[in-house]
A and B are shown apart, each in its own frame.
Chain A
Amino acid sequence: MEIIETIINGFSLGGTYAMIALGYTMVYGIAKMLNFAHGDIIMVGGYTLYVTLAGMGNPIMGLILAVLVCTLLGVTVEKVAYKPLRGASPLAVLITAIGVSYLLQSLAQIIFTSAPRMVYVGGQDGLGYVTIGDLKIQTHIIITLVCSVVIMVVLSLFVKYTKTGRAMIAVSEDKGAAQLMGINVNMIITITFAIGSALAAFAGFFMLMKSPSLTNTLGAMPGIKAFTAAVIGGIGSIPGAMLGGLFIGMIETVAQVVPGMGAYTIAIEFLVLIIVLLVRPTGILGKKRREKV
Chain B
Amino acid sequence: MKTRKNVKPTHYINYVVITVAAIVLGILSLVGALPASYQIILENIAIAITLAVSLSMVVGFLGELSLGHAGFMCVGAYLGGKVVYVLSPSIGEIPALLLGFVVGGILAAICGIIIGLPALRLRGDYLAIVTLAFGEIVWSLFMNSSEESFGGALGMPTVRIDKDYLFIIALVVVLICLAVTQNLIRSKHGRAITSIRDNEIAAKATGINVTKYKLAVFAISAFFAGVAGVLLASSNYTVQSQKFNYNYSIEILVMVVLGGMGNINGSIIAAALITFLDIKLQTVLTGELAVMQDLVYALILIVIVIYNNAPGLKAFREKYNFKNLLAKVIKDKNDPSHARDDEAKWDRVPTKIQMDEVLSVDVQVKSPYTPDKAEKGDN
Question: Chain A residues in contact with chain B, CB under 8 A?
Answer: 28, 32, 34, 81, 83-92, 94-96, 98-103, 105-107, 109-110, 113-114, 174-176, 179-180, 185-186, 224, 227-228, 231, 235, 263-264, 266-267, 270-271, 273-274, 277-278, 281-282, 291-293
Contacts and interface: CB of A to CB of B under 8 A. Distances in A.
A176 B137 CA distance: 40
B298 interface: yes
B269 to A, nearest CB: 18
A185 B371 CA distance: 10
B306 A90 contact: no
A89 B351 CA distance: 8
15 contacts: A28-B125, A87-B363, A89-B346, A89-B347, A89-B350, A91-B257, A100-B298, A102-B295, A114-B291, A175-B358, A227-B129, A235-B125, A266-B140, A291-B201, A293-B201
A77 to B, nearest CB: 10
Contact of B250 (A81, A89, A98): A98
Contacts of B305: 85, 92, 95-96, 99
Closest 9 CB pairs between A and B? A270-B133, A176-B361, A103-B298, A99-B301, A102-B298, A92-B309, A106-B294, A99-B302, A88-B309
B364 A266 contact: no
Interface string B360-379: 01111100001001100010
B291 A110 contact: yes
B274 interface: no
Contacts of A281: 121-122, 126
Contacts of B154: none
Contacts of B65: 91, 94
Nearest to B346: A89
Interface stretch (B38-46, B49-57, B172-180, B310-318): B310-318
B70 to A, nearest CB: 14
Nearest to A30: B358
Contacts of A274: 118, 130, 133-134
Contacts of B347: 88-89
Contacts of B223: none
A91 B257 CA distance: 9
Interface string B283-308: 00000100110110111011001101
Contacts of A263: 140, 143-144
A107 to B, nearest CB: 7
Given A81-B302, A84-B310, A87-B363, A179 B370 contact: yes
Contact of B292 (A81, A91, A110): A110
B292 A270 contact: no
Contacts of A105: 294
B258 to A, nearest CB: 9
Contacts of A293: 201
A266 B136 contact: yes
A84 B137 contact: no
B136 A95 contact: no
Contacts of B359: 32, 87, 90
Contacts of B292: 106, 110
B298 A176 contact: no
A267 B125 contact: no
B22 interface: no
A175 B298 CA distance: 30
A146 B130 CA distance: 32
Contacts of B250: 98
A176 B312 contact: no
Nearest to B366: A87
Contacts of A282: 126
Nearest to A187: B373
Interface in B118-148: 118, 121-122, 124-126, 128-130, 132-134, 136-137, 140-141, 143-144
Nearest to A231: B129
A186 B294 contact: no
Contact of A267 (B137, B257, B297, B302): B137
Given A88-B346, A99-B301, A99-B305, A106 B354 contact: no
A32 B358 CA distance: 8
B140 A264 contact: yes
A131 B240 CA distance: 44
Contacts of B128: 34, 94
Interface in B95-138: 118, 121-122, 124-126, 128-130, 132-134, 136-137
Contacts of B294: 102, 105-106, 109
B171 interface: no
A267 B74 CA distance: 15
B353 A90 contact: yes
B364 A91 contact: no
A292 B357 contact: yes
A106 B201 contact: no
Interface in B230-281: 246, 250, 253-254, 257, 261
Contacts of A85: 305-306, 309-311
Contacts of B346: 88-89, 91-92
A273 B130 contact: yes
B355 interface: yes
B136 A270 contact: yes
A224 B357 contact: no
A277 B362 contact: no
A114 B118 CA distance: 38
Nearest to B357: A292
A98 B301 contact: yes
Contacts of A91: 59, 65, 257, 261, 346, 350-351, 353
B144 A264 contact: yes
Nearest to A172: B358
Contacts of A83: 374
Contact of A278 (B118, B297, B362, B365): B118
A6 B86 CA distance: 44
